[in-house]
Structure 1
C-alpha cells in the first residue's frame, strides 16, 4: 500500500482503504453525483477529518446557504465556529450574492459576487487561502462545478480553469474535491473533465428491493492502487461505511 503520510483521508475507514490510504496530496478529485445521492456526507467528512488533524480547510459553496454547510459539521462532534474564528476553517460564500444582484448582503469575510466571472472565482479562492502555510496542509471542497459551468456558459473557460487549478494544487500540495452533477452536462464535457483531473469518485442512487441505496465507485485515482469495485455507501447517525455489493447479493458476480 502507498505510504499514507502523504494522503488526505476522509475519515471513513472503508473508503480510505479502497482509496489506497486516502487521496494523494495535491490531488483535484471530481465527485460525480446523481440527484438524491448522499454526496454531501463525503464533503463534510473530508473537511471534518482535516480539521481534526489540524489541517486548514476551505469550503466554497454555491448551492446552499453557507451556515447550513457549517452546521452539518456539528454531526461529527465539531464546533465549526471555533475553527472559523481561529482561521482554520475558511468559508467562501458563492451563494448569497452569486450574480451580483446586491439584494442580500453576506455576513462572510470571503464572498464571490459573480460566478459568471471565472477570474473573480479564482481570485476569491486565492485571496481566502493566501496566508495558509505550509500549503500541503490545506484541503478544500467546491460545490459545485455544475453551478460554475451553468453560470459561465462556457465549457472552454471551465476546462481552462480546472487545468490552472491542477497546476496550483501540484505546486502547493492542496487537495480539493469538486462536485459535479454529471447528468446535467454533455457526456463529452464530463469525459474531458475526467481526463484532466487526478481522481473521479462516482456516487449514485439505485433501488434494491424497492428501497433506495447509495452506490459509490472510485473510477480513477492517480498514484494509487485503488479498488474500482462498486460498493453500497451506508451513512447514518452511527457514521459512514462501505458494503461490498457481492456480499449483499450472495451468489452474484
Structure 2
C-alpha cells in the first residue's frame, strides 16, 4: 500500500482524487473518518466512487455500504466512468453491502424477489444499523477503506445518539487499523445541531456546495477540517468530467 510523506513529518493515504491529494499534501491521515457533507446534485456520489477506485488502485480492499442505491447501479455508474471494477468484485477486493434492497423486499412484486440468493434472502429481515455495525467490525487481514452511503438514511430512522455511537465505532476501528472511512451526508436535510454534531465527531469534513452565478452553476468544495493538518483557507472549484471529480489547481477569488 502506498503512503505519501509530507514535509511536516506525517504520512498520508492518497484518496484517489488527485487534486484533493495535492491540496492535502499527499492525502488524508491513516485511520481518518471523513464526513462528506454535500448539497443534492453536487456529485458526492461520483466522489465516493472515485475514492473507492483510488483505494483499489492503491492495493487496498474496499467495502461500500449502500442504503440509498442498488449496488448494481453503482457498479454500472463506475463502469460508465471507465473505472473497471468487475475484476475487483470477482477477486473479492471490492465488497458491496446492500442495505437498499432489503428495505423493499416486502413491498416489491414477487417477480422482483424470486431470484434472490440465499444470502440476500437472509438479509431481508436484517436491521440496517446491525448490518452496518457487522460490516465495519468485520475482521480484515489487509489494508482497506470503506464508504457509508449514506448516514442521512440512518438519521431518518434512528436517534442522533445512536448515529453518534455508530460513527464513534467506525472511528475507533479506523484508528486501530489505519483504514480510512468516508461517510456521506446530505446537506440541508437535517437540523443544524445534527450537522454540527457530525462535523465535530468526524476527523475530517469536506463540504460540497453549489452556487448559481449568472447562467452558470459553480461547484466548490470546502475542506472544513482534517485531523492533524492545516487545511486550505479558501473554497476550491471543481468540475465533473469523464475522469471524475477534478479540482482546480489555480487560486480564484470567489
Could you tell me the TM-score, scaled by structure 1's length? 0.85
Change (3 A) 1:244 1:7: closer
Cα pair 1:204 1:216 within 8 Å, conserved: yes
Cα pair 1:114 1:120 within 8 Å, conserved: no
Cα pair 2:81 2:242 within 8 Å, conserved: no
Cα pair 1:58 1:141 within 8 Å, conserved: yes
Whole-Å Cα distance in 2 between the matches of residues 109 and 18 of structure 1? 42
Extract unaligned runs of 5+ from structure 2: 1-5
1:31 is the counterpart of 2:39: no
Change (3 A) 1:185 1:7: same
> Does the residue aligned with 2:101 lie in a helix, a strand or coil?
coil
- Residue from 14, 26, 31 that aligns with 2:19: 14
- Residue from 169, 185, 188 that aligns with 1:183: 188
Could you tell me the TM-score, scaled by structure 2's length? 0.85
Aligned to 2:221: 216
Cα pair 2:14 2:28 within 8 Å, conserved: yes
Q: 5 Å matches for 1:148-163?
A: 148-152=154-158, 154-163=159-168
Residue 100 of structure 1, CA deviation: 6.3
Q: 5 Å matches for 1:193-232?
A: 193-232=198-237
Name the Cα RMSD after superposition: 2.6
1:143 is the counterpart of 2:149: yes
Whole-Å Cα distance in 2 between the matches of residues 63 and 230 of structure 1? 28
- Residue from 236, 240, 253 that aligns with 1:235: 240
Whole-Å Cα distance in 2 between the matches of residues 221 and 68 of structure 1? 31
- Residue from 42, 56, 73 that aligns with 1:68: 73
Q: Give the paired residue count.
A: 243
Cα pair 2:65 2:132 within 8 Å, conserved: no
